């Protein structure tokens, strides 16, 4: 939500509270807006903070996109915006997206912050890895492995496989089976070592 919009929402609430239905201006606010929005049990007036309320509803939508599969409303969004059941939602450069979708994608900046804070609070349990794409989903670290290791992703023979399909169980021990288009250059061996170090920290 843009800063100007946030300020306008707060101003409308403040003017109504202190100016009444008549909308009288230049009234002196005797209590800070932060205290006004506190619950009554905490000494506030219990006025709902519409900004935080809006952010919480958007966060709930983001959560539903991740966990609700097969629903009609999600299929409609995927037909318009592509794959939406993921942590990172890119904003299409085309101009047909709605304002609601833009707010949903830009949720990280809704409170004036940087980045997408939902990636800090939404945790995905990998389980056996069958529902998680190895390269394209965020399942280890804070971004897809295709972004962290773009060079390795380009030479992978398994760009769309799930985590489960990238290895095998042998005697109750998990072994990664990564396949490549060609042999690595010497400097690429360091990237591979970093990749293996990263993924071996996750228990499948």
Q: Where are the domains of the chain?
A: 3-42, 50-121, 145-201
Listed range (36-50, 120-134, 153-167) with the worst mean pLDDT: 120-134
Please state the separation of Cα 201 from the chain's center in Å: 23
Task: Tell me the per-residue pLDDT of 5-46, one tens digit each, with 9 for 90 and over.
Answer: 666 777 777 777 776 656 566 667 777 878 888 888 888 888
- What is the 8-class DSSP label of residue 183? P
- Alpha carbons within 13 angstroms on the beta-carbon side of residue 130 total 1
- Pair of tokens at residue 137: 């989903």
Residues 33, 53 contacting (CB under 8 angstroms): no
Q: Which of 11-25, 30-44, 50-64, 177-191 has the highest mean pLDDT?
A: 177-191
pTM as predicted: 0.59
**Cα separation, 102 vs 44, whole angstroms:** 33
């Amino acid at each position: 939500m843009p800063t100007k919009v946030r300020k306008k929402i707060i101003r409308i609430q403040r003017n109504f509270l202190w100016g009444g239905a008549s909308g009288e201006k230049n009234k002196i606010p005797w209590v800070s807006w932060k205290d006004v929005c506190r619950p009554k049990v905490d000494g506030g007036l219990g006025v709902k903070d519409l900004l935080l309320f809006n952010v919480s509803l958007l966060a709930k939508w983001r959560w539903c996109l991740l966990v609700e599969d097969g629903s009609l409303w999600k299929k409609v969004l995927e037909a318009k915006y592509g794959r939406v059941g993921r942590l990172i939602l890119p904003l299409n450069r085309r101009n047909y997206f709605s304002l609601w979708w833009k707010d949903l994608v830009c949720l990280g900046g809704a409170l004036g912050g940087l980045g997408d804070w939902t990636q800090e609070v939404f945790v995905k349990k990998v389980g056996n890895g069958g529902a998680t794409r190895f390269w394209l989903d965020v399942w280890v670290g804070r971004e897809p492995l295709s972004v962290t290791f773009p060079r390795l992703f380009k030479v992978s023979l398994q760009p769309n496989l799930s985590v489960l399909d990238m290895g095998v169980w042998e005697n109750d021990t998990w072994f990664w089976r990564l396949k490549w288009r060609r042999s690595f250059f010497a400097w690429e061996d360091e990237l591979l070592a970093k990749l293996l170090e990263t993924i071996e920290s996750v228990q499948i």
